[in-house]
Amino acid sequence: MLWVLAILLCIAAVMLWRQRIALSQLRYEHQRVVERAQAEHQRALGEERASSDAVIQSLEEGLLILDGQGRIVTANAAMRAAFRIRDEVRGRSVMEALRVHQVQDIVQRTLENGRVLDAEIELAVLGGVTRYFQVNSARVLNAIGGVQGAVLVFHDITRLKQLEVTRREFVANVSHELRTPLSIIKGYAETLTTMLVDTETTQKFATIMERHADRLTALVEDLLTISGLESGQMRMNVMAVDLHKLVQRVVDELAEKAAARDVGVMNEVPAALSVAADSGRLQQVLTNLIDNALKYGREHGQVIIESMPGPDEVMISISDDGAGIPPEARERVFERFYRVDKARSREQGGTGLGLSIVKHIVQAHGGRVWVESSATGGARFCLTLPANRD
Smallest gap from Cβ 124 to ligand ADP, in A, equals 32
CB 325 within 8 A of CB 252: no
In this structure, the number of other CB atoms found within 10 A of the CB of residue 272 comes to: 9
Written as one string, the DSSP assignment of 59-78 is: -SSEEEEEETTSBEEEE-HH
Interface pick for ligand ADP out of 243, 293, 304, 305 (rule CB under 6 A): 293
Bridge-based pairing state of the strands 313-319 and 379-386: antiparallel
Question: Which one, 295 or 365, has the nearer CB to ligand ADP?
Answer: 295
Determine the residue with CB nearest ligand ADP: 350
Question: Which one, 66 or 318, has the nearer CB to ligand ADP?
Answer: 318
Comparing CA positions, the residue from 70, 64, 54, 57 lying closest to residue 133 is 64
- Of 100-108, 119-127, 240-248, 285-293, the segment contacting ligand ADP by CB under 6 A is 285-293
Question: Which one, 352 or 367, has the nearer CB to ligand ADP?
Answer: 352
Question: Which one, 66 or 325, has the nearer CB to ligand ADP?
Answer: 325
Interface pick for ligand ADP out of 320, 321, 365, 385 (rule CB under 6 A): 320
Helices (H), ranges, 232-303: 243-253, 255-260, 279-296
Which whole-number Å values give the CA distances from 303 to 242, 334, 379, in the listed order? 20, 20, 10
Question: Which one, 172 or 189, has the nearer CB to ligand ADP?
Answer: 172
- The end-to-end CA distance of the chain, in Å, is 121
Which whole-number Å values give the CA distances from 251 to 7, 110, 172, 283, 305, in the listed order? 129, 68, 35, 10, 10
CB 85 within 8 A of CB 92: no
Interface pick for ligand ADP out of 153, 265, 285, 325 (rule CB under 6 A): 325
Site string for ligand ADP, 339-358 (x = CB under 6 A): xxx---x----xxxxxxx--
Which residues within the stretch 367-386 sit at the binding site for ligand ADP (CB under 6 A)? 379
Question: Which one, 63 or 355, has the nearer CB to ligand ADP?
Answer: 355
Smallest gap from Cβ 357 to ligand ADP, in A, equals 8
Smallest gap from Cβ 215 to ligand ADP, in A, equals 10
Could you say whether residue 333 binds ligand ADP (CB under 6 A)? Answer: yes
- Of 61-69, 232-240, 270-278, 292-300, the segment contacting ligand ADP by CB under 6 A is 292-300
Question: Which one, 228 or 309, has the nearer CB to ligand ADP?
Answer: 228
Q: Return the beta strands (E) in the chain as ranges.
A: 62-67, 72-75, 115-125, 129-141, 147-156, 238-242, 264-267, 274-278, 302-309, 313-319, 369-373, 379-386
Please tell me the distance from the alpha carbon of residue 154 to that of residue 60, in angstroms, as a whole number: 9
Smallest gap from Cβ 347 to ligand ADP, in A, equals 10
Size of the site for ligand ADP (CB under 6 A): 20
Q: Indicate if the alpha-carbon torsion angle 142, 145, 150, 155 is positive or negative.
A: positive
Question: Which one, 245 or 298, has the nearer CB to ligand ADP?
Answer: 298
Smallest gap from Cβ 313 to ligand ADP, in A, equals 23
The residues binding ligand ADP (CB under 6 A) are: 288, 292-293, 296, 320, 322, 325, 333, 339-341, 345, 350-356, 379
